[in-house]
Copies of this chain bind each other. A is one copy, B any other.
Amino acid sequence: MSDLLERLRGRGWRMTAQRRVVAEVLNGDHVHLTADEVHARATAKLPEISRATVYNTLGEMVSLGEVIEVATDKRAKRYDPNAHRPHQHLVCDLCGQIRDVHPTGNPLTALPSDERFGFTISDVEVTYRGLCPNCAAKA
């Protein structure tokens, strides 16, 4: 169980009530909240926190590399606190549920050099799509 708050403290990040609350809301496994959901939950703990602060704080955590932005659906970006361990995502097309998964092998090796168009590739994102057990049962 990674502790996002501890990791941020360890980087000498200036701590404020607002930042602590955002980090607490975002902490955990299989957590993929939108900025708006983070704001809603943060407001429950600290009513006067503003939307701009939530956006700023999320943006800073992304810049620090402690949180990853995920764009699995067409709507809002989601924020994933498990930046410390590489992983990919599994998404249910119906309910939108997201799970972290760890495929075997390195997807980079699947791309031949004549398909790289001279690019310097630094990262690969893989999104598996389908139906979760619940939605599959209903369909």
Contacts and interface: CB of A to CB of B under 8 A. Distances in A.
Nearest to A30: B117
A111 B103 contact: yes
A121 B110 contact: no
Contacts of A107: 103, 107, 110, 126
B118 A129 contact: no
A83 interface: no
A132 B116 CA distance: 9
Contact of A74 (B69, B124, B126): B69
A90 B121 contact: yes
A64 interface: no
Interface string A111-135: 1100111111111111111111100
B103 A128 contact: no
Contacts of A119: 90, 92, 99, 128, 130-133, 136
A16 interface: no
